[in-house]
Amino acid sequence: METGLKGKTALVTAASKGIGKGIALALAKEGCNVIISSSNKANLEYAVKEIASTGAKVHAFKCDLNLKSDIQNLQNEIVALYGGADILVNNCGGPHPGFFEEIGEDKWDYAYEQVLMSPVRLIKLFLPYMKQKKWGRIINITSLSVYQPIDNLILSNTFRTGVTALAKTLSNRVASLGITVNNVAPGYVLTERIKELAENKSKVTGETAEKILEKMREEIPMQQIGKPADIANAVVFFASESSAYITGNTLHVDGGRVGSYL
Ligand code: NAD
């Protein structure tokens, strides 16, 4: 597939490891100039080395997505480098796990800023450049929790459906300007996040984290936990010219795990 991505500038947030890093790597391989950001400076340095080995131009900036000032500073840096970003991939750290009774207001506030407000702020800052260029791609990383609630992830269930509504509403607004807005919803992907969730569940159920991961694998029709590259391939598609007529969509990448028709 000819992606037409050579020379495009792509920002991937929360990309020092896991799914975000996988996406940055895939966009770099397609010839994008890649900017990654994360709250973890040390991991960012490792990620830059790995992504630069593709031959792509890579820049990394520390940005805690829960801090409005960090998001503004990130945009200032990118404007100074490239004028803006053609492709914005909104990824964030995973929200705190827990059932309703376990989540205090502090955690609700944190997850609201982390999951819903960070894409709102990033889109507000990067959309004017896309409008000016009459071309842009906004891709949000959500979760299978937008199709069916995951019992002990009430924060993810609540705020990721908000991101889905944001994307669809905004996609209509900018559709005639050459800008698409889509979501990629990962199923289970082998990263530190999924291991942390398994450990967290292990404390509640008494089963080992390994056993919980094994059960997750068995729930997937393909009988395999996904890799960051599986999610990245879907992001490359939404970023590419080939997806120009697709907007306001969510694609679940999950080995068949989502049980619904749509
Ligand atoms: P991960 O824990 O491997 O990586 C998370 C990344 O977010 C890291 O780079 C970390 O430094 C960064 N980060 C954390 N807090 C941050 C903050 N406040 N500001 C900026 N960066 C921050 O997680 P992952 O598995 O790659 O997940 C990425 C996203 O995809 C998460 O939102 C997660 O909930 C979602 N997701 C993951 C899975 C899965 O199975 N792994 C499934 C569905 C959805």
CA of 182 to the centre of ligand 1 (A): 18
> What distance lies between CA 110 and its chain's CA centroid?
17
pLDDT at 1 (0 to 100): 78
> What distance lies between CA 82 and its chain's CA centroid?
22
Neighbours of 161 (CB within 10 A): 17
pTM metric for this prediction: 0.98
Which atom of ligand 1 is nearest to 193's Cα? Answer: 2
CA of 82 to the centre of ligand 1 (A): 26
**Where does the pLDDT of residue 46 fall: very low under 50, low under 70, confident under 90, or very high at 90 and above?**
very high
Judged on CB neighbours under 10 Å (0-12, 13-18, 19+), 73 is: middle
Residue with tokens 């029709």: 221
CATH architecture of 9-187+227-253: 3-Layer(aba) Sandwich (3.40)
pLDDT at 2 (0 to 100): 87
pLDDT at 224 (0 to 100): 97
Write out pLDDT tens, residues 81-117. Answer: 999 999 999 999 999 999 999 999 999 999 999 999 9
Q: Is the pLDDT of residue 162 over 90?
A: yes
Where do the domains of the chain lie? 9-187+227-253
**Where does the pLDDT of residue 173 fall: very low under 50, low under 70, confident under 90, or very high at 90 and above?**
very high
> Residue with the nearest Cα to atom 14 of ligand 1?
93
Q: Which helix (H) or strand (E) holds 11?
A: strand 9-12
Q: Is the pLDDT of residue 244 over 90?
A: yes
Q: What is the mean pLDDT of the chain?
A: 97
pLDDT at 6 (0 to 100): 97
The residues lining ligand 1, judged by C-beta closer than 6 Å to any ligand atom, are 14-20, 38-40, 43, 63-66, 91-94, 114, 141, 143, 186, 188-189, 191-194
CA of 240 to the centre of ligand 1 (A): 23
